[in-house]
Structure 1
Amino acid sequence: MTPHRTLTAFAALGVAALALAGCVAKSDVAASDALTVSSTDSACEVSAADATSGTLTFDVANDSSEVTEFYLLADDGLRIVGEVENIAPGASRTLTVVAQPGEYYTLCKPGMVGDGVGKTAFSVSGDRVEATGDDAEQKQQAVDLYAAFVKDQVEQLQPAVQELVDAYESGDDTAAQEQFPQVRAYYERIEPVAESLGDLDPRIDYREVDAVAEGLDWTGFHRIEKDLWVPADDALNADGETPAWQGWQPSTADERAAFGDQLVADVQELNDYVHSDEFQAALDAQGVAGLSNGAIALLDEVATGKISGEEDWWSGTDLWDFAANVEGSKMAFSLVSDFAASQGDEGQALVDDITAGYTDLEAALAQRGSLADGFVNYRELTDDDKRELTDLINALAEPLSQLTSTVLE
């Protein structure tokens, strides 16, 4: 994390919607019958597993006991390309999207929290179709899809944090160590959202050195991290000078309970915010410039904290954060890439350069592991490894820095 990032700087780290593009007028809806979806407490049953490209409608009936939402996800299972939320028990709502050829997933989320249920492959065949709707409508759709992505990530973060805290407070450090980097990935993808909310990010994600420098109580992920990875006798703090044990005592059971409960409460506050009108209004005010600035900001997050190994100083799990930041940056870029590419040959060339930069950086990360299977400990990286990753970040940062001005042309 980077202290004092503003809302303008964060704007959006986003969700990609390249496979589904454009706004849809009611008159554009295909003549074929709508797909039906039954969302129950344990399943998400869609009437068909495939469709032909064009305008699709999903009539979603909530047959569960809780408020639910329905998602159409891209082939990576992460990017949201369409969603409808706040469907009350017994009610129905419709999702309408322009579907391009490709592979997708359908998913329901009863209770609007957690990973969801009934994740099922969905295939679209046929020819690519042109998006409908004017430029302003398409840009608003990009902002709305980003908002949906943030809400989804925080909805998954909330129960994951509770599970981590339960293990930490009970003294099951082995389980908590395994969960720690995985849980943080949800936060790292949407981290700048919390950074815009005053002291919320300091409470959730400040490193010890930052809290001490600003005279704040040190709480959150990294306070828990230091309990889980007890410093060695010869370890130094992140400042490289102060012995890690100087003035340090492992937390008592009561202190663990206090730190854990505080983190749960802070994540609840974050969840409340991203489901508020205030959050949507902030995104609307930034528009697509905010999305492109978000792509840049998340890469800056990698360059200033993760590549140096300063973020997860005690656990050495920095590459998990690194990968999640890159995912967020890439998804923000993908939301606005079509707008940049529409600016003639120079715009398309810029998009191609940025895309190639992400591909190269992701390939280098893949040599060290993955978010799903885990990465090598940061301390195992050689100087050559760090130099390679730094060079790739710099190579991507240069064209990415031109994105906002190109999108706004």
Structure 2
Amino acid sequence: MKARLLAPAAVLAAASVALTGCTDNTTAASGDGAIDVVSTSDACTVSTTSTPGGTLKFNVKNDGSEVTEFYLLAEDGLRIVGEVENIGPGLSRDLVVIAPEGKYFTACKPGMVGDGIQAAFTVTAAPDGQEVSADRAELQANATKLYAAYVKDQAERLVRGTEEFAAAFAAGDEDKARELYAGTRMHWERIEPVAESFGDLDPILDAREADLEEGQEWTGWHRAEKDLWQPESGYTPMTDAERQEIADRMVADTKELYDRTQDLTFTPDKLANGAKELLDEVATGKVTGEEEIWSHTDLWDFQANVEGARIAYEDLRPLLVGVEDELDASLEKNFADLQALLDQYRVGDGFKYYDELTQEQIQELSAAVDALSEPLSKLTAAVVK
């Protein structure tokens, strides 16, 4: 019987939040209306857990010994609504965001690594008569800023996950490596168009055996995948030295990817086109079962591609409200319908293996991808107006 794989903690953030170091915060906000946040090495103390919607101001103070960051995350725990970085010990910085009514998470990240110290945060209805507005250029700039922060966050998580996976793989701990494989790859799959924009890194980290050109060296995730889920015949397992070489290179190349994401800039068309590229990845690789031909963990990749596309859409969504409401409603519905289908195949913290799905189930998923792709193809034109 195949061992089930675990989904990454980020996917479960909305359902199970790390509360270590957090308090039952009910203190009132500052006199100027700002919400006070105090970050230390093991706590993220927020002066209130609830505030009316509109323009929110967080005054973030670092009382710890390491540089810290502060985030306001959407209900899914993935989309970054606002963030402030590089707050040195003893320093304070403000975060100002426009947030409508809904459920969120606050998060401090001491040392600027890891999942951070998170807690639930609620935004209630805005006061009657209050209007929140921003011009289109400001909305476009905000969307690209938030997406850039998301890409950096996923790249950082990918580095940490790859280091853990590579250590297990090189050490011959196959059970642990198999357990880590799909969940770690989800960070790659969420930002796959960005990773693919670095033409030299994508083939050495994510090339499939079937796509290799003559004489091309095979490295990266799928080379390790085949060794962990070996064919029944005709395959020679890697030596310890070969595994170590593959593991070391995966870590080095992933760190290079992370370094390159730090200075990336985005435009609204890049976000919208990237979202469509992610759906195309699902249609051409995940639905066909060709991406994870040895492990059959395609549904993890499928989920991550859909999440990455949805994050880009949600960052751009303020540009649609009141302008392209019909397109917005169509995207919202089709994302929800596709997610509902995927949720049917969840098993514990992961998913069914792709070879366990019937042809009818695969066709149903493919149809849902096609239904979403049609309105998603109109997103770029709508947001660059």
Match of 1:355 in 2: 332
Q: Contact 2:231–2:294 at 8 Å: present in 1 too?
A: yes
Match of 1:168 in 2: 169
The match for 2:13 is none
- 187-196 vs 398-407, which deviates more? 398-407
Alignment-derived partner of residue 12 in structure 2 = none
1:60-79 alignment runs, 5 A limit: 60-79=60-79
**Residue 45 of structure 2 corresponds to which residue in structure 1?**
45
- Identity, in percent, stands at 50
Question: 1:384 and 2:371 equivalent?
Answer: no
- Aligned equivalents of 2:320, 2:58: Cα separation in 1: 30
Change in CA separation of 1:355 and 1:225 when aligned onto 2, cut-off 3 Å: same
Q: Structure 1: which amino acid aligns with 2:310? A: K
**Corresponding residue number in structure 1 for 2:344:** 367
CA distance in 1, matches of 2:174, 2:95: 43
> Which stretch of the first structure deviates more once superposed, 249-258 or 308-317?
249-258
Question: Structure 1 pair 176/130, CA: closer, same or farther in 2 (3 Å)?
Answer: farther
1:143 equivalent in structure 2: 144
Distance 1:162 1:72 in 2: 27
Residue 23 of structure 2 corresponds to: none
The residue that corresponds to 1:19 in the other structure is none
Could you tell me how far apart the structure 2 residues matched to 1:37 and 1:270 are?
Answer: 32
- Kept in 2, the 8 Å contact 1:113–1:158? The answer is no
- Aligned equivalents of 1:172, 1:356: Cα separation in 2: 43
| Matched residue, 1:20 | none
Q: What displacement does 1:318 show?
A: 0.3
Unmatched 5+ stretches in structure 2: 1-29
Q: Judge conservation of contact 1:87–1:93 (CA < 8 Å) in 2.
A: yes
C-alpha distance in 2 between matches for 1:134 and 1:341: 12
Task: For residue 232 of structure 1, give the secondary structure of its aligned residue in structure 2.
Answer: coil
1:341 Cα offset (Å): 4.0
d(CA) in 2 for partners of 1:214 and 1:109? 45
Q: How much does 1:407 deviate? A: 2.5
TM-align CA RMSD = 1.7
Q: 1:175 to 1:58 in 2, by over 3 A?
A: same
* Change in CA separation of 1:226 and 1:43 when aligned onto 2, cut-off 3 Å: same
- Distance in 1, Cα, partners of 2:374 & 2:270: 18
Which whole-Å deviations, capped at 9, do the CAs of 1:367-405 have from their partners, x for residues lacking one?
A: 1117x7111111011110111111111111112212222
Residues 125 and 342 of structure 1: CA distance in aligned 2, closer, same or farther (over 3 Å): closer
Q: Which amino acid counterpart does residue 157 of structure 2 have in structure 1?
A: Q
TM-score between both structures, scaled by the size of structure 1: 0.83
Contact 1:369 1:376 in 2 (8 A): yes
Q: CA deviation at 1:31?
A: 6.7
Letter in 1 for 2:326: A
Aligned residues of 1:112 and 1:155 also touching (Cα < 8 A): no
Q: Paired residue for 1:242?
A: none
CA drift of 1:64 comes to: 2.7
Q: Which amino acid aligns with 2:141?
A: Q
- Once the two structures are superposed, residues 174-232 of structure 1 have per-residue CA deviations (whole angstroms, 9 ceiling, x without a partner) of 11111111001111101111111121111111111222x25321111111111111111
TM-score by length of 2: 0.88
Question: 2:289 aligned with 1:309, yes or no?
Answer: yes
Give the letter aligned to residue 303 of structure 2.
A
- Does residue 263 in structure 1 map to residue 240 in structure 2? no
- The 3-state SS of whatever aligns with 1:93 is strand
2:268 aligns with 288
Distance in 1 between residues matched to 2:77 and 2:32, nearest whole Å: 26
- Whether the 8 Å contact between 1:114 and 1:157 is mirrored in structure 2 is no
